[in-house]
Amino acid sequence: MMARPARALLVGLAVVGAGIVVAALRVNQYVYFAGYVVLQYVVIATAWNILGGYAGYVNFGTPAFFALGAYTAVFLIQSTRAPLPVLILAGGLVSALLGLGIGYLTLRLRGVFFSIATLALSIVLQTMIINWEYVGGSRGLSVIRPSGPPFGSYVTFLFTVMVLLSVVAVTVARFIERSWIGRGLAALRDNEEAAECMGVPTLRLKLFATTVSGFLLGVAGAPFPYYVTFVEPNSAFNLDYAVNALAMPMIGGTTSWVGPVIGAVLLGTAQQLATVTISSEMNLFIVGVVLVAFVVLAPEGILGLVRRLRGR
C-alpha cells in the first residue's frame, strides 16, 4: 500500500524539478510569462473541477474567488509586506471562507441556486473592491516586487512557484478523487437524493468541495499582484477566468483530475499563442463557441472521446 503514494510523490517532485530546470535555462522571458498563465489555469481549472466535475455544482463566480485571493495578497503586501508563502496561504484561506459562506447559504437548496448566487457574486465583490481605497479602488494599485528572488528573475521565480502550486492542486484533486470522499461526491453528483439515502452526508461533502475549491482558487490568485505589478479590479475580475474555468475542464473532461490539466494546457497555450494575432474579444468569442460545442456534442470532453475511441 505504500508504493502508490510514494510513486505519486516522486512524479510530483519530478514535475517541480523539471519546472526548476526550465526556469534555470533562462529561455526567452516571454516563455515564463506565458507559462505562468497556463500553469495558473491548471490550478484554476483543477480547483473548479473539484466542485464542478466531482460534485456537479457549477461555480460561475471563479473571478470572485481568484480576485479575492489576489486582493488578500494586496492587502497583506500593503500592510505587512508578508512573504509570498504567507500571501498564498492567506489568499487561499480567505477564498476558502468565501466558498464555505456561499455554500452554507445555498447548498441546502437545489444546485441551480448555488450557481445563480455565484453568478452574481463576482459583480458584487468587484463593487466592494472598487470602493475600497486601501487596495487601490477602481484606479488600481502598484505593487513592488520584493527584492532578491531566490534565483533567476522574479518572473522565473513566480513561474517555478506556479509549477509547485499546480502540482499541489493536482495532487489534492487526485487524492480527493480516489478517496472515499471522491466516491461520495460522485454519488451525490449522479443522484443526490439517492446518495443521501445511502448514507452519504451530502451537505457536508458539498461544503467540503466548495471550501477546497475556493481555497485553491484563492491560492492561484495570491501571486497575481507580484506577477502583474499593477493590480486593478478589471484585470483581477476578468471574465476570462469565468469562462476558462468552465471551458478547460469541460473540454478536457470533468470526471478525473487529468481533464482540467489537459484543458488548461491546450486551451491556455492556444490562448497565449493567439493573443498576438487576435483581439481578446475574439479570443473570448472562440472560447465561448468551443465551450458550447463541447457541452452539446462532447459532454465528456477529450477524456471521454479518448475512452470511446479505446472502445470502453
Q: Give the residues lining the site for other proteins (CB under 8 A).
A: 52, 56-58, 60, 105-106, 109, 111-113, 115-117, 119-121, 123-124, 127-128, 130-131, 180, 183-184, 186-187, 189-191, 193-203, 239, 243, 246, 250, 254-255, 279, 281-282, 284-285, 288-289, 291-292, 295-296, 299
210 touches 58 (CB < 8 A): no
CB nearer to other proteins: pick between 89 and 305: 305
- Which uninterrupted H or E stretch holds 230? strand 230-231
Instruction: State the Cα–Cα distance between residues 103 and 113, nearest whole angstrom.
Output: 10
CA distances from 224 to 37, 112, 267 (A): 10, 30, 20
CB nearer to other proteins: pick between 84 and 243: 243
* Least distance (Å) between residue 297 CB and other proteins: 8
Instruction: State the Cα–Cα distance between residues 244 and 225, nearest whole angstrom.
Output: 20
| Bridge partner residues of 230 (DSSP) | 142
* Least distance (Å) between residue 168 CB and other proteins: 26
CB nearer to other proteins: pick between 52 and 152: 52
* Least distance (Å) between residue 72 CB and other proteins: 20
Nearest to 211 by CA among 115, 99, 114, 92: 99
* Least distance (Å) between residue 309 CB and other proteins: 18
Instruction: State the Cα–Cα distance between residues 287 and 192, nearest whole angstrom.
Output: 31
Residue 151 has which C-alpha cell?
Answer: 534565483
* Least distance (Å) between residue 142 CB and other proteins: 23
CB nearer to other proteins: pick between 63 and 218: 63
* Least distance (Å) between residue 28 CB and other proteins: 31
Residue 125 has which C-alpha cell?
Answer: 465583490
CB nearer to other proteins: pick between 54 and 157: 54
CB nearer to other proteins: pick between 29 and 179: 179
- Which residue carries 493590480 as its cell? 231
CB nearer to other proteins: pick between 156 and 238: 238
CB nearer to other proteins: pick between 56 and 268: 56
* Least distance (Å) between residue 55 CB and other proteins: 9
Please report which residue ranges of the chain form alpha helices under DSSP H. Answer: 3-24, 29-52, 62-80, 84-106, 111-130, 154-178, 180-190, 192-197, 202-221, 224-228, 233-236, 239-252, 258-274, 280-297, 301-309
* Least distance (Å) between residue 5 CB and other proteins: 16
264 touches 44 (CB < 8 A): yes
Nearest to 12 by CA among 127, 143, 150, 172: 172
Instruction: State the Cα–Cα distance between residues 167 and 202, nearest whole angstrom.
Output: 28
